[in-house]
Amino acid sequence: MVGTAGVVVGLLNLAAGVFPRFRHSRMHALAEVLPGAVSPLAAAASIVVGILLLLLAHGLKRRKRRAWGAAVALLPVGIAAQLVYRHSVFGAVLSLALLGFLVWHRKEFAALPDPRSRWKALANLIVLGGVSFGIGMVIVSSHPDKTVGSPSFWDRTQHVLWGLFGFEGPVRYTHDIDYTVGYSLGALGLLTVATTAYLAFRPEHPAARLTEDDEERLRELLAKHGARDSLGYFALRRDKGAVFSPTGKAAVCYRVISGVMLASGDPIGDVEAWPGAIERFMEEARAHSWTPAVHGCSETGGQVWTRETGMDALELGDEAIVDVADFTLSGRAMRNVRQMVKRIERNGYTTQVRRVRDLEPEELERVQKAADAWRDTDDERGFSMALGRIDAVKDSDAVIATAHLAPAEGEEPGPFGDLKALQYFVPWGPNGISLERMRRDRSADPGMNELLIVAALQAAPDLKIEQLSLNFAVFRSALERGEKLGAGPVTRITRGTLLFLSRWYQIESLYKFNDKFRPRWEPRFVVFRNTRDIPRIGLATMQAEGYLELPRVLRRKKAAEPRPCAHTTERVKAPGVVETAA
C-alpha cells in the first residue's frame, strides 16, 4: 500500500513539474509575488522529487530503512514545489498524508540494504538517462502557446540534449518560460549524474558467496547426511550463501535474486536440526525484507518448511531416479533404448565410466575444454541441479562417463581427440550419483545421451553405486494424468498448455526421455509465502537458472573460480530441466 502511495505521489510531483500550472487558482496570486527564480526552481524540484519517489517506491514497499529516510526528506520539498508551481492543493495534501503515515509508522521500516555492486551505476545511467530525455521532450513540447516559431523535432531534441548538460538550446520561449524549461532540464541532467555517481562510488555489498569455511562445514554435513537428498551436493555451488542452525548440524543454502531469497533442495544435515536452520533463513529474509522461497525440495523437506514457517507448497515436478539393481536392458519396455545403444556401438563408439580422480590431468583438461566448447550458451546455466565446475581435487568422487570414436583411416582427429560426448555426475551420499550435465559434439551420432546413461548404469556396481538420479521433469504428473483415459477438461487443458509450452521449453520431451529408463519418480515442490509471490519467485528462479539474463554489459562480474566448466546439458530449457536432444 505504501509503495503504491509513493508511486501516486511521485507521479503527481512529476506531472506538477512537467505541465504548465493552472491559470486560475487561489495560490496563483501568492506565487506571482515571489521572486522570479522561485517558480522555475519549484518546477525543477517537483520533477526531481517525483522521479526519486518513483525510484524509492519499491524500497518503501519492502520497508527499507534507507528508502524511508530518503522519502521523508523528499516529501516536504515536493509539497512546497507543488504549491508554488502547480498550485496543487490535492497533491500537497496527499503528499502530506504519506509523510505523516511514514513518520507514524517509522519503526516498521527497518529492513537492511540488499547486496549491490557498481554495475547498477551503469544501468542507472542508461535507464534514467533515457527517462530524463523522454521527460525533457515532454517539457520542451508542453508550452506550444509560448514557443517562438515552430521548432522542428530535431530542434527540440537538441534543446533537450543541451539542456540536460546545462546549456541553452535552439528553442526560444516567451513569458520567462525558458527559465522554467532550462531549470527543469538541468535538474534532470543533474539528477542522472548525481544518482549515477552515488551508485558508482558507494561501498559495494556483494551478494553472499560460499566461503572456504562454509564449504568445509557443508562437506562435513554431506559426509554424514548426504545420502538423504540427491540435490544435496549442489549446495556446494560457490555462488550460493549458507545459513547454519545454532547447533551447526544443519544449513540452508540460497541465492538472493531480485529481492527473492531462493533456497534450493532440502536443508543440508540432520533432519532434527532443520528447524533451526530454517529459522535462521527466515530471520535473514525478514531482516532484509526479502521474499523467502524454496525451489525443488522433497516431500519431507516441504512438510518441514510449511510446518516451521506457515508457508504453502506446490508440486513442481518429479525427479527421475533409477535403482541400479533393478535396471536391465532386457524386455519389451527397453527395446528402443537397447536398439539405439546397439546401433551406436556397431558404429564404433566406445565408452568409459570413471571417478574424476582417476582421469589423467591431460585428459581432464581435454574434457573441461570440450564441455565449454560444446555448451550452446555464452554463460553457464543452472542453480538447483548444477554445480558449475569440474574439480578433480574437491570433487574427486564425481563420476565422468565419456563416449569415444576413433577417427577413420586418413582422417584427422578432432580438437578433443576421439572424445565425442560426456556426462558428469556428482556424489549423492556414499552410494549414489546425480546427473549434473550432458554434453556432446554436434557431429556425433544421435543417441549419445542414452548410450552414456546406460554405460553409467552398467558400470555402477563396480563403482559401488546403487542409485542414479537423472533429470528433473517439471509438471510430469500433470502430463501423465492428462493423457489417461477419462481425464477431465481441466486436466486436458493443463496438458494441452504444457504441450504448447514444450515447443520452447522441452517439458514433454524431457519427461518422455527420462521415462525410457523406467525410473521411480520422486515429487519435488516449490514453497512460497503468498500466492501473489509466485510470479516473482518464478522470474527469480528463471534468472537463477540462467533463462532470463541482463544485457552482457550490465551483468555483475563473477568471482573467478578454478577450472570453470559447464553444468547441465547441451541445452537447458526450463528451471532445473535439461534437454537431452538425442
Residue with cell 506538477: 16
Closest CA to 198 of 254, 266, 267, 121: 121
pLDDT for 464 equals 95
Round to whole Å and give the CA distance between 355 and 341: 23
pLDDT of residue 282: 95
The grid cell for 306 is 510449511
Judged by DSSP in three states, 441 sits in coil
282 in Cβ contact with 494 (< 8 Å): no
Beta bridge partners of 438: 423
Assess contact for 246 and 240: CB atoms under 8 A: no
User: Which tens digits make up the pLDDT trace of 329-380?
Assistant: 999 989 999 999 999 999 999 999 999 999 999 999 999 999 888 886 655 5
Give me the pLDDT at residue 337, please. 93
Spell out, as residue ranges, where the chain has pLDDT lower than 70: 2, 9-44, 82-88, 112, 114-118, 176, 198, 201-208, 376-382, 485, 505, 547-582
574 - beta bridge partners?
Answer: 577
- Between the two ends of the chain, the Cα-to-Cα distance in Å is 51
- In angstroms, the CA 22 to CA 88 distance is 9
* Residue 431 pLDDT: 94
CA 446 to chain centre: 33
Q: Do 169 and 160 contact (CB within 8 A), yes or no? A: yes
pLDDT at residue number 557: 44
Dihedral Cα 305, 308, 314, 320, nearest 10 deg: 20
pLDDT at 462: 94
**Burial track 517-556 (b if 16+ CB lie within 10 A, e otherwise):** bbbebbebbbbbbeeebeebbbebbbbbbbbeeeeeeeee
Which residues lie below 8 Å from residue 406, measured CB to CB, with a gap of 6+?
348, 418
- The reported pLDDT for the residue numbered 121 is 76
Q: How far is CA 579 from the centre of its chain?
A: 20
Task: Report pLDDT for 329.
Answer: 93
What pTM value is reported for the model?
0.72
The predicted structure's pLDDT at residue 55: 75
Non-local (6+) Cβ contacts of 571 within 8 A are 376, 377, 506, 579, 581
Query: Residue 269 in contact with residue 219, Cβ under 8 Å?
Result: no
**Three cell numbers at 110?**
527497518
> What pLDDT shows up at residue 87?
58
- Report the topology of domain 323-472: Aminopeptidase (3.40.630)
Are the beta carbons of 275 and 243 closer than 8 angstroms? no
Q: What is the pLDDT of residue 307?
A: 95
Question: What sign for the dihedral angle of Cα 434, 270, 221, 236?
Answer: positive
Question: Could you state, in order of their start, the residue ranges of all structural domains in the chain?
Answer: 1-25+37-201, 323-472
Q: What is the pLDDT of residue 38?
A: 52
Residue 425, strand partner residues = 399, 435
Residue-level pLDDT at 313: 94
For the segment 131-156, what is each residue's pLDDT rounded down to a tens digit? 888 888 888 888 777 788 888 888 88
Specify the DSSP element, H or E, that contains 467. Answer: strand 467-474
